[in-house]
Chain A
Amino acid sequence: MFRQLKARFGAPVAMAIAGILGIWLILMVTLPQLQMIDYSLRPSLLPAEIGGPKDGWTLINYVTLFNNDIHLSIFFKTLWSSVLVTSLTLLVSYPLAYYLAKTATPGQAALCLLLLIIPFWINEILRTFSWFILLAFRGPLNEILLTLGLIERPIRFLNGDTGVLVGMVYAYILFMVFPLYNAIESLDGNQIRAARDLGAGSLRTHWRIVIPHAKPGIATGCIMTFMLAAGSYAVPALLGSPGSRWFTQIIYNWFFEGGDWNQGAAYAFLLLILCIGFMALVMRLFKVGLADIAK
């Protein structure tokens, strides 16, 4: 590998490339993850006990999760809600991506893309905070609904999972729209016209032509959205209530309130496994490879 680099760039640049890449992948990407796994497999000990007889590999930290009904239910709720967020985001994004890629004129598409990007240049915290204001008990949404006579009493949007779901769809939609848009855009418009011409209705055209073509985009979008949702901390912290806690919040508590890093590492690793599992599932389901994802 180094020979090819050297042939192209000369020895100094090749060494710089190899060195920089090596430091990043080893010191920043791989070793910290391995260290985290190692941590998760050791009991939480007092400093004096480290290296002592109690120090050794154990699964105790993983067992904790399965013995704690609350944590376990939060884990599965996080999984389930993240799947829900992913599906909702896909539903909301698909028509938009299709419009941008195939229906809109180039000018319209450019404007829409710019409009889409702007909110996502803005801090995730601020975007979530704006929903916090909108959904507040005495906030504008309740006021409007009351004024319109649609409800008689204000609704506590922020008291369950509703706010979290809405906020997450809002926060991560761009990660779905862009892969979808890229995938649909590469579809030859004539294929759609041909399908129409052959008498296929709109829905059938989407189901048989557009969606199969957009599969890599759908897969990428779903993987990214799921990962962001499952790993979200800000949205549940801001829009959720104590009753709708997220698994990331439990992890945070182990680190900074419980002070048990080993336990936290185990939980964090489980979250990582969850994301990897989802990714593997989606990649198998949609028959796409890693190369399709990074586009």
Chain B
Amino acid sequence: MSAQRFFDWGLRLYIGLFFVYLFLPLAIMAVATFNDSRFPTITPWNGTTLKWFAELWADGRMWAALGNSLLVAGGVLCLAVPIGVASALFLTTVESRAKPFVYGLILSPLLTPGVIIGISTLIFWREFGVSGGTFLTVLGQATFISAYVMLMVMARLQRFDRTLERAALDLGATPWQAFRRVLLPFLKPAILSAAVIAFLQSFENYNTSLFVVGYDTTLTVYIASKVRTGLTPAVNALGLVLIVITILIAVVYELKRRRELKPKGV
């Protein structure tokens, strides 16, 4: 019994330490924003300041990168959501001997390192005279984000009762009406969730974008370049703002998702 107890307490202590490990660096980064120091740190503390926010506000390249990131994310949404939904529909509808192969192909972007997706996109489009920029960033990111959308839509689609479609047809609906009125409303929550995730994935993407952004730097690529050259606590300020926004989105998204999950248990 005591061994079991020891084990349980050990586990709890471990969980506690784990969450310290998870959040401490982020907390330190956030606090460092307010340190009046040329270099982002909290030791030594040179006094509290808000001047790094002001500097961030005045950073024109940051704003341009942000605008570009939003543009890319919007483009990715337009591609990845239809692609993801289409492949989920395909996989849940078709039974054929070729299906495992198609399934493997659909999953492959998830199992390929992001840098390689960026590289292959860059090389492929060079043949058509397209060089790095917003367009390629959208294509590169959408290549693998579509697969994430597929997984999320698929999870819900597998719970769909296909008798409902049959019922709709039986009542006189065309296949299109059955799709539009019965299946699509059922998928809507999953599609919305997938869109949120796709947006964030795009916004945060670094590895793929690195190779295809060209001169149309995205915010993430901009932050990385700032960290490596010309690092000031303005980066922390930007980080802090992004963290606050992402946490807000994450919490809202989670709460909404849970509320949607609940009635299904009844």
In the assembled complex, how far is the CB of residue A39 from the closest CB belonging to chain B, in whole angstroms? Answer: 5
Cα-based distance from A269 to B235 in the complex (angstroms): 34
Q: In chain B between 212 and 251, which residues have their CB closer than 8 angstroms to a CB of chain A?
A: 220, 223-224, 227-228, 235-236, 239, 242-243, 246-247, 249-251
Contact of B93 among A5, A138, A139, A272 (CB under 8 A): A5
Cα-based distance from A99 to B204 in the complex (angstroms): 30
Cα-based distance from A133 to B127 in the complex (angstroms): 42
Do residues A121 and B249 form an inter-chain contact, with CB atoms below 8 A? yes
Is A103 interfacial (CB-CB < 8 Å)?
yes
Interface string of A257-285 (1 = CB under 8 A from B): 00001001100100110011001000000
CB-CB under 8 A from A119, the residues of chain B are 22-23, 26
Q: Is chain A's binding surface mostly helix, strand, loop or mixed?
A: helix
Cα-based distance from A73 to B19 in the complex (angstroms): 35
Closest B residue by C-beta to A123: B204
Most A CB contacts (10 A, CB to CB) among B94, B99, B236 go to B94
Do residues B242 and A228 form an inter-chain contact, with CB atoms below 8 A? no
Is B111 interfacial (CB-CB < 8 Å)?
yes
Is B211 interfacial (CB-CB < 8 Å)?
yes
Cα-based distance from A129 to B24 in the complex (angstroms): 13
Q: Which stretch in A11-19, A51-59, A60-68, A209-217 binds the other chain? A: A11-19
Cα-based distance from A25 to B125 in the complex (angstroms): 15
Cα-based distance from A255 to B123 in the complex (angstroms): 10
Cα-based distance from A126 to B206 in the complex (angstroms): 11
Cα-based distance from A217 to B48 in the complex (angstroms): 46
Is A184 interfacial (CB-CB < 8 Å)?
no
Most B CB contacts (10 A, CB to CB) among A17, A121, A290 go to A121
Cα-based distance from A266 to B40 in the complex (angstroms): 39
CB-CB under 8 A from B83, the residues of chain A are 20-21, 24
Q: In chain A between 101 and 134, which residues have their CB closer than 8 angstroms to a CB of chain B?
A: 103, 110, 112, 114-119, 121-127, 129-134
Is B164 interfacial (CB-CB < 8 Å)?
no
Chain A interfacial residues counted at CB < 8 A: 88
Is A33 interfacial (CB-CB < 8 Å)?
yes
Do residues A231 and B114 form an inter-chain contact, with CB atoms below 8 A? yes
Do residues B87 and A24 form an inter-chain contact, with CB atoms below 8 A? yes
Closest B residue by C-beta to A177: B18
Do residues B112 and A272 form an inter-chain contact, with CB atoms below 8 A? yes
Cα-based distance from A42 to B211 in the complex (angstroms): 20
CB-CB under 8 A from A9, the residues of chain B are 89, 93, 175-176, 179
Do residues A126 and B18 form an inter-chain contact, with CB atoms below 8 A? no
Do residues B21 and A112 form an inter-chain contact, with CB atoms below 8 A? no
Cα-based distance from A279 to B107 in the complex (angstroms): 13
CB-CB under 8 A from A255, the residues of chain B are 119, 122, 211
Is B167 interfacial (CB-CB < 8 Å)?
no
CB-CB under 8 A from B25, the residues of chain A are 127, 130-131, 133-134, 170
Do residues B94 and A123 form an inter-chain contact, with CB atoms below 8 A? no
Is B63 interfacial (CB-CB < 8 Å)?
no
Closest A residue by C-beta to B151: A294
In the assembled complex, how far is the CB of residue B39 from the closest CB belonging to chain A, in whole angstroms? Answer: 8
Interface string of B139-168 (1 = CB under 8 A from A): 100110010000100000000000001000
Most B CB contacts (10 A, CB to CB) among A18, A99, A125, A201 go to A125
Q: Would you list 27 pairs from A and B whose C-beta atoms are within 8 A, ordered by A residue?
A: A4-B93, A5-B89, A8-B175, A10-B174, A28-B143, A29-B105, A31-B124, A32-B143, A36-B119, A99-B15, A110-B258, A117-B250, A118-B251, A126-B239, A129-B227, A140-B28, A232-B207, A238-B224, A238-B227, A264-B119, A265-B123, A268-B116, A275-B112, A276-B111, A290-B104, A293-B111, A294-B107
Besides A248-B207, A294-B151, 4 new A-B residue pairs in contact (Cβ under 8 A), listed by A number: A9-B89, A114-B251, A124-B206, A130-B29
**Which B residues are within 8 Å of any A CB, using their own CB?**
3-4, 7-8, 11-12, 14-15, 18-19, 21-26, 28-29, 32, 40-43, 82-83, 86-87, 89-90, 93-96, 98-100, 102-117, 119-127, 139, 142-143, 146, 151, 165, 174-176, 179, 200, 203-204, 206-207, 210-211, 220, 223-224, 227-228, 235-236, 239, 242-243, 246-247, 249-251, 254, 258
Q: Which 3 A-B pairs have the closest CB atoms?
A: A231-B113, A10-B175, A130-B25
